[in-house]
Amino acid sequence: MDKSRIVMPGEMVAERPERIGYAFVDKGKTYSTVVGLYSEGKLVPLEGPYEPLPDDMIVGIVSEVRFSGYSVDTNSAYAAFLSSREIRERYEMGDTIFARIIKTDETRSIELSDAKKLPEGRLVRVSAVKIPRIIGKKNSMVDMIRANTGCEIVAGRNGYVWIIGTGDSNLAEKAIRMIEAQAHTHGLTDRVAAYLKSQKKA
């Protein structure tokens, strides 16, 4: 982690052709395509659009109710579809759901399953590449925010974060914004913990 460096689009990451995500090979050398952190054969983008993958858990908003199911807004260029056959609940337009992607095809249309309606709350839109940091190792970050604010946090892989507002949801949102801005730095968990603690007393 310490040896990682920030690379720019078009910057060489390896002298020989290698298969690295977010990189491409030209004339036997490997170059980055994004602004990212590179270390030992791994390139992590620092910013980027959400690319749907099967088994991702996402937060979506029902945008259309149709005879056979629901269209769901997913914070990406691609609309998702949730078939009525997959679910027992009924939704209305504007409901927020937490669901699993079961299938995407080459034109990136998304099919959803295992949906669950989320109770009333607040939506925070963050960059999708920062979601792993918001969740933390073994949910550590989300658990910490919950413990300090009394808010349940549902973080979708697509960059939508749903704060279920029973506690101090303002503070929870601020913490999430802080994580988003500093996602590439070290020792973030401690800083967020200190921040939450200082805000809680006040």
Partner 1 sequence: MVNGKRVDGRGVEDVRPMKIVARVLNDAEGSAYIEWGKNKILAGVYGPRECIPRHDQSLYRAVVKCRYNMAPFSGAEEHGRSGPNRRSKELSKVIKEAFENVIISENFPKTEISIFVEVLQSDGGTRCAAVTAAAVALADAGIPMKDLIGAVAVCKIDGQMAVDPGKEEDNFGESDMPIAFSPRTGEVLLFQMDGNLSREELSRGLELAKNASAKIREVQMEAIKKVYDEPKEDRFLLIG
Residue-wise burial string across 13-27, b where 16 or more C-beta atoms lie within 10 A, e elsewhere: bbeeeeebebbeeee
List the x/- string, 91-110, binding to partner 1 by CB under 8 A: ---------------xxx--
User: Considering only residues 18, 47, 64, 143, which one is a binding residue for partner 1 as defined by CB under 8 A?
Assistant: 47
6 strand-pairing partners:
37
Under the binding rule (CB under 8 A), the answer on residue 81 touching partner 1 is no
> Could you give the C-alpha distances from 148 to 21, 89, 142, 171, in angstroms and in order?
36, 32, 10, 9
Under the binding rule (CB under 8 A), the answer on residue 184 touching partner 1 is yes
Q: Of 28-36, 80-88, 112-120, 164-172, which segment contacts partner 1 by CB under 8 A?
A: 28-36
Nearer to partner 1, 48 or 167 (CB): 48
Under the binding rule (CB under 8 A), the answer on residue 54 touching partner 1 is no
β-pairing, 80-83 vs 110-117, is parallel
User: Considering only residues 14, 102, 178, 193, which one is a binding residue for partner 1 as defined by CB under 8 A?
Assistant: 178
Report residue 178 as tokens.
Answer: 């802080």
